[in-house]
Amino acid sequence: MKKKILMTRRLHDFAMKELQKRYQVVVHDGKIPMPKKLLLQKIADVDGLVCFPYDVIDGEVIESARNLTVISTYSVGYDHIDLQAARRRKIRIGYTPSVLTDATADLTVALILDVMRRVTEGDRLIRAGRWSVIFGPHDYVGSDLHGKTLGIFGIGRIGQAVARRAAPFGMNVIYHSRTRLSKKIEIQLGVKYVGFGELIRDSDILSIHVPYRSDTHEIIDKKVFRMMKRGAFLINTARGKIVNEVDLVRALKSKTIAGAALDVFGSEPIGRDHPLTKMENVVLAPHIGSSSEETRRKMAEITLDNLVLGLGGKKMVYSVDV
> Which range in 27-35, 132-140, 154-162, 185-193 contacts ligand NAP by CB under 6 A?
154-162
> Which range in 25-33, 93-101, 227-235, 244-252 contacts ligand NAP by CB under 6 A?
93-101
Residue of 239, 245, 296, 301 with catalytic role: 239
268 is catalytic: yes
Nearer to ligand NAP, 145 or 242 (CB): 242
239 is catalytic: yes
Angle between helix axes 293-311 and 13-22 (nearest 10 degrees) is: 10
For residues 230 and 173, what is the distance between their CA atoms, to the nearest angstrom?
19
- Minimal distance in Å, beta carbon 96 to ligand NAP? 9
Site string for ligand NAP, 53-82 (x = CB under 6 A): -----------------------xx-----
> Which range in 141-149, 156-164, 275-283, 296-304 contacts ligand NAP by CB under 6 A?
156-164
Pick the binder of ligand NAP from 50, 86, 210, 300 (CB under 6 A): 210
Order the strands of the 149-153 sheet from edge to edge.
Answer: 191-193, 172-176, 149-153, 205-208, 233-236, 259-262, 282-284
Residue 116 engages ligand NAP in binding (rule: CB under 6 A): no
Cis geometry, peptide bond prior to residue 33 (ω within 30 degrees of 0) = yes
Find the binding residues for ligand NAP in span 173-192 (CB under 6 A): 177-179
Pick the binder of ligand NAP from 72, 237, 256, 303 (CB under 6 A): 237
Nearer to ligand NAP, 65 or 109 (CB): 109
Comparing CA positions, the residue from 240, 207, 216 lying closest to residue 107 is 207
For residues 89 and 161, what is the distance between their CA atoms, to the nearest angstrom?
35
Pick the binder of ligand NAP from 157, 222, 297, 298 (CB under 6 A): 157
Angle between helix axes 119-127 and 101-117 (nearest 10 degrees) is: 60
Residue with the closest Cβ to ligand NAP?
Answer: 156
Residue of 80, 165, 209, 287 with catalytic role: 287
Render the burial of 119-128: b for 16+ CB within 10 Å, e for the rest: ebbbeeeeee
Sign of CA dihedral 224, 226, 229, 231: positive
Residue of 213, 268, 274, 297 with catalytic role: 268
Q: By three-state DSSP, how is residue 102 classified? A: helix
Residues 6+ apart with CB under 8 A from 254: none
CB 223, CB 196: distance < 8 Å = no
Contact residues for ligand NAP (CB under 6 A)?
76-77, 97, 100-101, 104, 154-159, 177-179, 209-212, 215-216, 237-239, 263-264, 287, 289-290
| Residues marked as catalytic | 239, 268, 287
